[in-house]
Amino acid sequence: MPERAAPTTLESLSAMVPGSTPDLLRWLDQQLQAGQKEATLLQSLRDTGWSDAVARQAFAQVVRWRSAPAPQAAPPIPEPDLRRSPTDIDVGDRAVHVLMALEHPRIVLFGNLLSADECDAIVAAARPQMARSRTVETRTGSEEINADRTSQGMFFVRGQTPEVARLEARLARLLQWPLENGEGLQVLHYGPGAEYKPHHDYFDPAEPGTATIVRRGGQRVGTIVIYLNDPEEGGGTSFPEARLRIQPRKGNAVFFSYAQPQAHTLTLHGGDPVLRGEKWIATKWLREREFH
Ligand SMILES: O=C(O)CCC(=O)C(=O)O
Ligand SMILES: [Fe+2]
């Protein structure tokens, strides 16, 4: 029998037909599956002592239940395979540590994603191209300077340097998400006092520019922020609704996902002001579809 994912089970359906039983509904379902006709079925039910009213109501409910459309499986989103609570995840050329996992909001903290040398190489490649960070402006669909974001930043195109390509391959395995569905890696640098006020990374569907933005690759559905150095004080990544702060550690990374572009995902987050030292991060935003 084809698998049926109806809004309710036959057991709970029988509660909606007074006088019926789950067995009666299961029998009707099997008979309909076998191609039996209404008149024949109602007659056999009457013959075996069911009242006409119960037989008719049960028949109608089962017919309706059988024709209910199978609910759409939720589309996949980026997600590490944590089903067996692994300590490490093999990403091909490295064992990434799983340090913490929160269900809702979905937040996973990883260690050992990058070696110290790899972090340094990404910073060195990004440094000459740093400029005041821009954010995608959903009101207009263009990129603008944002007063809430006092960091400096740049984007790599995918695969731009060997380190970037290696990191992207690792992330694809770690998050079980195609490399092509990722935006180019963004590197951000926060000096003392710099911050990124709490925000959502998805594009607000209510804003007029969002339709234009999501034409390229769909919505953002996940983010991984990779720490490229150790700030001395401050500079955490905070999730105020989860009352959670992640303290940066060179080579570690925090991943979070949001299946819908909605506040109930509790993925509001920000970069706390750097109090002492500086902060370097690389951010990869993951899209629903291929981003090019
Ligand atoms: O600086 C941080 O820790 C957070 C960065 C961030 O929210 C982003 O890049 O979207
Ligand atoms: Fe963000």
pLDDT in tens, 41-85: 999 999 999 999 999 999 999 999 999 877 788 889 999 999 999
**Mean pLDDT lowest among 111-120, 124-133, 144-153, 179-188:** 144-153
- Among the listed residues 67, 23, 63, the one whose alpha carbon sits nearest the alpha carbon of residue 45: 23
What is the pTM for the complete model shown?
A: 0.76
To 10 degrees, the CA torsion angle through 24, 29, 33, 34? 0
- Ligand 1 atom closest to Cα of residue 254: 3
| Pocket lining for ligand 1, CB < 6 angstroms | 188, 196, 201, 223, 225, 237, 269, 271, 281, 283
The mean pLDDT value for 234-261 works out to 98
CA distance 80 to 95: 13
Q: How far is the CA of 199 from the centre of ligand 2 (A)?
A: 6
Positions of E strands within the chain = 88-90, 95-102, 106-111, 131-132, 134-136, 143-145, 152-155, 186-190, 196-199, 220-227, 233-234, 237-239, 244-246, 253-257, 269-271, 274-276, 279-287
Q: What's the rounded Cα separation, in Å, for the pair 41 and 24? A: 11
Best residue among 155, 220, 225 to mutate for probing ligand 1's pocket (most ligand atoms within 8 Å of CB) is 225
Q: Which residues of 158-194 are buried (b: 16+ CB within 10 A; e: fewer)?
A: beebebbebbbebbbbbbebebebbbbbbbbbbebeb
Q: Which atom of ligand 1 is nearest to the CA of 238?
A: 3
Residue with more model confidence, 157 or 15: 157
CA atoms of 194 and 262, how far apart (whole Å): 27
pLDDT above 90 (res 215): yes
pLDDT value of residue 144: 67
pLDDT score recorded for residue 134: 66
Mean of pLDDT values over 177-201: 96
Q: In the chain, pLDDT over 70 holds for what percent of residues?
A: 92
Asked if pLDDT for residue 145 goes beyond 70, the answer is no
Question: Phi then psi for 273, rounded to 5 degrees?
Answer: -55, 140
CA triple 44-46-47, angle to 5 deg: 60
Mutate to test the pocket of ligand 1, among 136, 223, 229, 280 (most ligand atoms within 8 A of CB): 223
What's the CA gap between 159 and 92, in Å, rounded? 17
Is the confidence at residue 208, as pLDDT, over 70?
Answer: yes
ipTM: 0.99
Closest-CA residue, ligand 1 atom 7, reads 270
Q: Is the pLDDT of residue 1 over 60?
A: no
Residue nearest to atom 1 of ligand 1 (CA): 271
Ligand 1, atom 10, residue with closest C-alpha: 201
Alpha-carbon span 194 to 190, nearest angstrom:
5
Q: Whose CA is nearest to atom 9 of ligand 1?
A: 283
**pLDDT band, very low/low/confident/very high, at 11 (cuts 50, 70, 90):** confident
Look over the chain and give the mean of its residue pLDDT values, rounded to a whole number.
93
pLDDT at 248 over 80: yes
Segment 4-13 mean pLDDT? 68
Confidence bin at 10 (pLDDT 50/70/90):
confident
List the residue whose alpha carbon is closest to atom 2 of ligand 1: 271
User: How sure is the predictor about 133, in pLDDT bands with cuts at 50, 70 and 90?
Assistant: low
Atom of ligand 1 nearest to the CA of 236: 3
